[in-house]
A = this chain, B = another copy of it.
C-alpha cells in the first residue's frame, strides 16, 4: 500500500474552516513534514493508527500522557468501575481523598495535594500559593522555559498585555551565578523560583539539571524564605512517584504535576509541604470538572500499575535500547546523532544540521516506515514500548537508508 494520507488531508481541509487555522497548539502538524498524519483514529499500547490505515509506533505518547500504554487494562477497568458510580457530581467521591493520600505517601516533599485539570492550572496555582504564603510578588524562572499557556507564561506576546508578565525575572538554567543575580534583582520581594527538572525546550539540546544547580535553587529559597516550585508537569512519573529532583536529593516546596498522572485522563495536581499549607488554604481556586472521580480512579490505577509493573525501569530500559540502537544505525550510515535528555524523554538532533533539514527528512521517512518521531521536540517513552523498540529500530533503519540516498554520507 502506497503511503498516502488522502483521508487525513480531507479532514485537515474541514479543520481549516472549523477551527481558526486548523488544529492548534502542540497538536498541530502544520510545522511538521508532509508524512505526519494530523488525525489519529485509534490507539493501543505503544501504537497509533491514522485514518488512512497506517500504523505507527508512537514515540510521542500524546506528548506525555500515555505512560503505561494506551488503554492499559487495569486503568480502563478502574475507569469503568468508577463510571458506573459517577464522575462529575455535586461533591467529590472518597476516591479524591484516597488519591491525595497516596500522592502524599509517595512524595517526600508532600503534606497535602490539590487537583486541577491543565498543567497551566498547576503552575499558576503554585505561583499564587507562593505569593499568598510569602506576601511577596517576584518569581524567578529560567529563560525561555515552557510553564504552560496562561498569560504570565505563554511564550507568545500576541493578545497578552505586558502587565501579565510583570514580576517575573529570568535566569539561565543550570547557571548558579545567573540565578544569584536574578535573586538579587528580586531583593526582599522574592516569592518563589519556578524551575523544570531538566531543560527540555524545543529546537535545542536537552540539559539535565546538575546536582549543584538544584542544590543552589534549594539553598537560595531557604535563605530567602521563598518557594522552590518544581514544574514537574512533563516529567514526574517517568522518573519518580514523588518529585523528579528526589533523585538529586532536592525537594520542592510546591510541585506542579500533570501529564503523567492518569495515563491520559485529564488531571493535574499541586503537591506541597506544610510550610506552604496556609498560603494554599487561603488561595481561592476551583474548576467545573476538577472534582470528577473518573480521572482520580485512573490516577490511582496508574500509580498502582507503575509500581506493580516496574514501569519506570521498563521505560528507562526501552529508552536506553532506542538511544543505543539509533546511535549505532546513524554511525553505520555515516551520520552523527546528538542525543540528549533523559532516555525516557529523548531528543535527537543530527550533528551539522542547523536548519533541521536532515532531521525533518529523517522523521518524514520514519513516518512512512511506521515510527512517529519528532524532529525538534522531546519524545516520550511509555512502559508498553518495551515490546516495540526492536521493531521501531527496524523501521528507523529504513529511514536512515532513505536519507542516506537523499543526503549522501553527511548533510
Footprint of B on A, CB under 8 Å?
A: 11, 14-15, 17-21, 23-27, 29, 37-44, 48, 50-51, 58, 60-66, 70-71, 76, 79, 83, 85-94, 96-97, 100-101, 104, 112-114, 117-121, 124, 127-133, 137, 149-152, 154-156, 158-161, 163-164, 166-167, 233, 258-259, 264-266, 268, 272, 277-292, 295, 372
Contacts and interface: CB of A to CB of B under 8 A. Distances in A.
B41 A70 contact: no
Given A97-B11, A124-B150, A43 B159 contact: no
Contacts of A38: 91-92
A281 B155 CA distance: 15
Contact of A166 (B70, B86, B163, B233): B163
A283 B156 CA distance: 8
Contact of A27 (B11, B272, B283, B291): B291
A113 B233 CA distance: 27
B164 A21 contact: no
A94 to B, nearest CB: 6
Given A20-B272, A61-B90, A65-B288, 14 more contacts: A11-B94, A19-B114, A23-B96, A51-B94, A71-B86, A118-B118, A119-B288, A132-B159, A137-B161, A158-B282, A161-B166, A164-B164, A233-B288, A264-B289
A287 B18 contact: no
A25 B286 CA distance: 5
Given A86-B71, A101-B14, A114-B19, A284 B154 contact: yes
Contact of A17 (B112, B114, B118): B112
A18 B100 contact: yes
A291 B129 CA distance: 29
Given A92-B23, A101-B18, A161-B131, A63 B113 contact: no
A300 to B, nearest CB: 13
A332 to B, nearest CB: 29
A41 B82 CA distance: 10
A90 B58 contact: yes
B149 A132 contact: no
Given A40-B90, A88-B264, A155 B76 contact: no
A238 to B, nearest CB: 14
A100 B117 CA distance: 21
B284 A155 contact: yes
Nearest to A155: B284
A195 to B, nearest CB: 19
Given A18-B112, A19-B113, A158-B282, A287 B120 contact: yes
Contacts of A288: 62-65, 118-119, 233, 258-259, 266, 268
A283 B158 contact: yes
Contacts of A20: 112, 114, 272, 277-278, 280-281
B151 A128 contact: yes
Nearest to A148: B287
Contacts of A114: 19-20, 24
A48 B91 contact: yes
Q: Name, among A91, A156, A272, the residue most crowded by chain B CB atoms within 10 Å (CB to CB).
A: A91
A90 B377 CA distance: 13
Contacts of A37: 91
B43 A89 contact: yes
B118 A283 contact: no
Contact of A265 (B43, B88, B121): B88
A116 B121 CA distance: 12
A152 B151 contact: yes
B158 A132 contact: yes
Nearest to A289: B266
Contacts of A40: 86, 89-93
Contacts of A100: 15, 18-19
